[in-house]
Chains A and B, each alone.
Chain A
């Protein structure tokens, strides 16, 4: 053994240093890699839950029509049946969770309609669009159109 190692001791020590480095690395890996890493794929399993933690700000139309049955009946029968409540009324999850607390946003009927219905060359031809100056300039839209069912008469 000694004859073999004669003149090679420095190499043995260097090899031991490398081995120590590898061991250190393996220890670090065992200690520092987060729990749940690699369970479903090359990622931390907890990240799935992390992405689900956020509290929704939009309630979704199903929540609104639980309570607002009159509006629902008008809405479902008219041309805005495909338009969600929050498309005009904004994010309402807080209101849906506690209807008494947060005031729901009531958009201005003179301007809210322009968001979608102002004429623009890039809009699909079949989409109903108007030039506000030509179409009862200055008048409130809900003078003739019920916001929830615009093909029917004004809201009562």
Chain B
């Protein structure tokens, strides 16, 4: 009961102290959408499956990624892109093209029945478990998160470009607007909210599938058992976690 000014101040102070943690709790729940369980990094280990036999080169993924992640449209920077391979029998190397990364799809360039095989290969950051880009970063601005995504700390990156040199897959670039490095971060802001990545969401054929290797119910386990899959450049032992089904030996 408030009897004088001193008591008032004491009571008000206690209320303030008590409401602060309550407010903090509410804020934490609210920003994470109250009906969704909180995301625990220890329960997940992310990867992706790319099924080359299903990719139709529509470019939906490239456009969706640029929309979702604000990737610069000009000049040529991509968090994900699609390559088209044209492999003639007995040729020394394949013909590869990726017009604007596949942003506008692929116009027909080859004639049917020319004796070659052609196919599309989507590319993205392989979220390596032993990532060479993380190894060479001088300050710790890129790192492997506990749940298996390779992320960038844009407030800490110096823009030295060593990681861009060290990535064997060419998936990193310097964003000219921030002068720091940027790359596919597996739509980390989506997957930690129970959504799938923008590229997987917009892929019409299911050629791209986000997988959670730590989830026993994830279809990835059965997929890996029943299909012959590869990672890109396995000889470099990067621990890549993007698994390609139907990957031809000519793919670079």
The answer to whether A57 has its CB under 8 Å from any CB of chain B is yes
Q: Are B153 and A47 in contact (CB under 8 A)?
A: yes
Taking the closest CB of chain B, its distance from the CB of A147, in whole angstroms, is: 12
Taking the closest CB of chain A, its distance from the CB of B218, in whole angstroms, is: 17
Closest to B197 in A: A58
The answer to whether A60 has its CB under 8 Å from any CB of chain B is yes
Q: Are A124 and B145 in contact (CB under 8 A)?
A: no
Q: Are B119 and A122 in contact (CB under 8 A)?
A: yes
With A41-B144, A60-B195 as contacts: A120 and B108 at CB distance below 8 Å? yes
Q: Within the assembled complex, what's the spacing in Å between the Cα atoms of A58 and B53? A: 26
The answer to whether A48 has its CB under 8 Å from any CB of chain B is yes
Q: Are B188 and A60 in contact (CB under 8 A)?
A: no
Q: Are B118 and A122 in contact (CB under 8 A)?
A: yes
B residues 151-174 near A (Cβ < 8 Å) are: 151-156
A residues 86-134 near B (Cβ < 8 Å) are: 86-87, 90-91, 115-116, 118-124, 127, 129
Number of A-B contacts (CB under 8 A): 131
Interface bits B98-139 vs A (CB < 8 Å: 1, else 0)? 000000011010111000001110000000000000000000
Contacts of A42 in B (CB 8 A): 140, 143
Q: Are A47 and B156 in contact (CB under 8 A)?
A: yes
Q: Are A91 and B64 in contact (CB under 8 A)?
A: yes
Closest to B206 in A: A82
Q: How large is the interface on A (under 10, 10 to 19, 20 to 34, 35 or more residues)?
A: 35 or more
B residues 60-96 near A (Cβ < 8 Å) are: 60, 64, 67-70, 84-86
Number of interface residues of B (CB under 8 A): 56
Of A41, A53, A61, A91, which is within 8 A of B189 by CB?
A: A53
Identify the A interface with B (CB < 8 A): 34, 37, 40-44, 47-48, 50-58, 60-61, 80, 82-84, 86-87, 90-91, 115-116, 118-124, 127, 129
Identify the B interface with A (CB < 8 A): 41, 53-60, 64, 67-70, 84-86, 105-106, 108, 110-112, 118-120, 140-146, 149, 151-156, 185, 187-190, 192-193, 195-196, 198, 201-206
* Interface pairs (24), CB distance under 8 Å: A42-B143, A43-B140, A47-B143, A47-B155, A48-B41, A51-B151, A52-B188, A54-B69, A57-B67, A58-B201, A83-B205, A87-B201, A91-B64, A91-B68, A116-B56, A118-B108, A121-B108, A122-B84, A122-B118, A122-B119, A122-B120, A123-B56, A124-B119, A127-B56
